[in-house]
Structure 1
Amino acid sequence: MQKIRLRVLLTAVIAVLALASFTACQGASQNQETSQQTEITPDATPAVEETPVVEEGVTLDEGSLGELEYLITLPKDYDSNADRSWPVLVYLHHSGAGSMSYAKYYKLYQLVEDQGYSFITISPLTKVSWLSNEDDVISIVRNALNKYKADPTKVYITGGSIGGNATWTFAAKHPDLFAAAAPFSSGASTDLAANLIDMPILAFHNKNDSITPVKKTQEMVDAVKNAGGKDIKFTIYEGKDDIKHDSWTKTFKNPDFYKWLLEHTSKNTQ
Structure 2
Amino acid sequence: MIKYLFLFIAFTFVANGQFEKKSFMAADGKALPYQIMYPKDYKPGKKYPLLVVLHGAGERGDDNEAQMKYGKNVFLDSLNRINFPAIVIFPQCPKDSYWSSVQINRSTTPTTFVFDYSAPINWPLQAVIDLVKSIKHDKSRTYIMGLSMGGMGTMEAVSRNPKMFAAASPICGGADLSYVAKYAKRVPLWVHHGDVDIVVPVRHSRELVKAVQDQGVEIKYSEYPKVNHNSWDNAFKQPDLLSWIFSHRK
Q: TM-score, with normalisation over the residues of structure 2?
A: 0.73
Greater fraction helix: 1
- Distance verdict in 2 for CA 1:203–1:106, change over 3 Å: closer
The aligned residue for residue 234 of structure 2 is 250
The aligned residue for residue 99 of structure 2 is 130
- Tell whether 2:139 aligns with 1:179: no
Shift of 1:252: 2.2
1:197-221 Cα offsets, whole Å, 9 max, x none, are 2110000001111211111100111
1:170 is matched with which residue: 157, 165, 170? 157
Looking at structure 2, the residues matched to 85 and 206 of structure 1 have their Cα atoms a distance apart, in angstroms, of 36
Tell whether the 8 Å contact from 2:21 to 2:33 is kept in structure 1 after alignment: no
Structure 1 stretches of 5 or more lacking a match?
1-53
Shift of 1:196: 2.1
Aligned length: 201
Structure 2 stretches of 5 or more lacking a match?
1-13, 101-121
Shift of 1:255: 3.3
Tell whether the 8 Å contact from 1:225 to 1:232 is kept in structure 2 after alignment: yes
The aligned residue for residue 79 of structure 1 is 43
Looking at structure 2, the residues matched to 234 and 107 of structure 1 have their Cα atoms a distance apart, in angstroms, of 19
The aligned residue for residue 90 of structure 1 is 52
CA RMSD of aligned residues (A): 2.1
Residue pairs, 1:100-249, within 5 angstroms: 100-106=64-70, 108=72, 110-114=73-77, 116=80, 117-127=84-94, 128-131=97-100, 132-133=122-123, 134-144=125-135, 146=136, 150-198=137-185, 199-228=187-216, 230-238=217-225, 242-243=227-228, 245-249=229-233
Looking at structure 1, the residues matched to 71 and 211 of structure 2 have their Cα atoms a distance apart, in angstroms, of 34
Looking at structure 1, the residues matched to 235 and 40 of structure 2 have their Cα atoms a distance apart, in angstroms, of 22
The aligned residue for residue 60 of structure 1 is 20
Looking at structure 2, the residues matched to 231 and 260 of structure 1 have their Cα atoms a distance apart, in angstroms, of 14
Shift of 1:119: 2.2
- Secondary structure of the 1:96 match is helix
Tell whether the 8 Å contact from 2:55 to 2:149 is kept in structure 1 after alignment: yes
Q: TM-score, with normalisation over the residues of structure 1?
A: 0.68
Tell whether the 8 Å contact from 1:112 to 1:119 is kept in structure 2 after alignment: no
Question: How much identity, in percent, do the aligned residues show?
Answer: 31
The aligned residue for residue 37 of structure 1 is none
- Secondary structure of the 1:163 match is helix
Shift of 1:76: 2.0
Looking at structure 1, the residues matched to 71 and 89 of structure 2 have their Cα atoms a distance apart, in angstroms, of 11
